[in-house]
Amino acid sequence: MDKATQLLETVSELTKRGKGILAADESTPTISKRLQALNIDSSESTRRTYRNLLFTTPGINQFLNGIILFEETLFQKTDEGTVVPDFLRKHQIMSGIKVDKGLVPLTNADGDTITQGLDGLADRLRQYREAGACFAKWREVYRISEHNPTSLGLRSNAEVLARYAAMCQEQLMVPIVEPEVLMDGDHSMARCSEVSEAVLTSVFEALHAHHVLLEAVVLKPSMILPGKSSSHKALPELVASETMKVLSRTVPAAIPSINFLSGGQSATEATANLQALNAKYPKAPWRLSFSYSRALQAPVMAAWAGKESNRKLAQGIFARRVELNGLACRAEYDSNMETE
C-alpha cells in the first residue's frame, strides 16, 4: 500500500460523519492551572486519573472518532492496565498526539508569536506512531489587535504549520492543522473575519508550497466570533453565516473535514454554533465537526472535583456533552436537550 493510500484510509476513519475529536492534549502547565482552579492537586497520578475517567466513559465511541493526547498520556495505562492507545483502539477510537512545544514571541513581529517544536519532530513522530498514534496536532496562535497579526506573523506561522504537516505525512501521520484566532479582546466579528481570512489564505498557500496532500489534512480553525470583551454577542445563525463566508473563500474542497476548536466558547455556545453551521449548510464540501477541549471538559472536571465518588456523575456529563455535539454534527441538536 502506498503512502497516500495509507493516509487516506486513516483520515477516512478520523472523519466519519456524526462524530468528532476530543482534545485532551493540554500541556502539564495548562491542565495543572485548570485543576488547581478547582483546588485539585496536579500530579502525574491525578492527571492520569482524570483523563482515564474521560477515556473509559461508556459509549463515547458512538460520537468520537479520535482523541488527541498529550505525550505524558500516550505512554500511560488505564486502570485495567492497558496502554491508552491500545485501550482506545479496542473501543474504535483513534489516538492522536499534540506535537508542538508551545509559544514564544516572534522576533521583529511586534506582538505576534510562533510555535516551537520542529527540531527533532520527524524522530518524535516515528516514536509516537510506534506507540500507537495515528494522527498529530499542531497549534499556531494569532492574536487580534489593530496591527496584529502582522504580515511577518502570518507568513511565519503558516510556514511552520506547513512544515509540520509535510513531516507528519512523510511519517504516515494525518496532520491536524490548527490556526487559532484568539477570542481575546473587544474586536468585532468583522475584524475577526478579516483576520481569519488572511490567516487561512496564508496557511493554504504554505500547504500548497510544501506539497502537502490536502485530502489527508484535518483543519481545526476558530469560528468567526466577536471578541470576549465585545459588547456584541452573536447568535448562532450569524456565527454560522460569517464562518461559512470565510471558509468558502479560503478552504479548498479537497479538505475532508473541518473540526472546529471551541476557543473560549461555553459548552452550550460551542454546540449551538456547530448545530447552526450544519443546519444552515448541509451541502458544505467538508464535514463540519468538532475538536473541542474546554467545551467538552469544563463541566466534567467541575463535577468530578478530584473525588472518586463523583466519577460516574462526571462520566455521565461527559457522555452527554459528546452526544450533543455528535447530534450537532448531524444538525439534530436542539437547545431544549440541554435541560433533558
Which residue intervals of 91-188 are DSSP H helices? 121-131, 151-170
Query: Dihedral, CA atoms, 327, 70, 254, 292, nearest 10 degrees?
Result: 30
For position 1, what pLDDT does the model report?
72
Question: Cα 215 to the chain's mean position, in Å?
Answer: 18
Q: Domain range holding 141?
A: 3-339
For position 231, what pLDDT does the model report?
85
Enumerate the active-site residues: 178, 220
- Residue 115 pairs in a beta bridge with 103
Q: How many residues does the chain have?
A: 340
Closest CA to 274 of 51, 12, 24, 63: 63
Q: What angle do CA 332, 216, 21 make, to 5 degrees?
A: 40
Q: Which residue has the cell 443546519?
A: 279
pLDDT tens for each residue of the chain, 340 residues long: 799 999 999 999 999 999 999 999 999 999 999 999 999 999 999 999 999 999 999 999 999 999 999 999 999 999 889 999 999 999 999 999 999 999 999 999 999 999 999 999 999 999 999 999 999 999 999 999 999 999 999 999 999 999 999 999 999 999 999 999 999 999 999 999 999 999 999 999 999 999 999 999 999 999 999 999 988 889 999 999 999 999 999 999 999 999 999 998 999 999 999 999 999 999 999 999 999 999 999 999 999 999 999 999 999 999 999 999 999 999 999 999 998 6
Q: Return the SS3 of 196.
A: helix
Question: Cα 329 to the chain's mean position, in Å?
Answer: 15
For position 339, what pLDDT does the model report?
80
Q: Return the SS3 of 66.
A: strand
List the end-to-end C-alpha distance of the chain, in Å, as a whole number.
48
Number of domains observed in the structure of the chain: 1
For position 340, what pLDDT does the model report?
65
**Residue 78 near residue 84, CB atoms below 8 Å:** yes
For position 246, what pLDDT does the model report?
98
**CATH code assigned at 147:** 3.20.20.70
Residue 313 identity (one-letter amino acid) = L
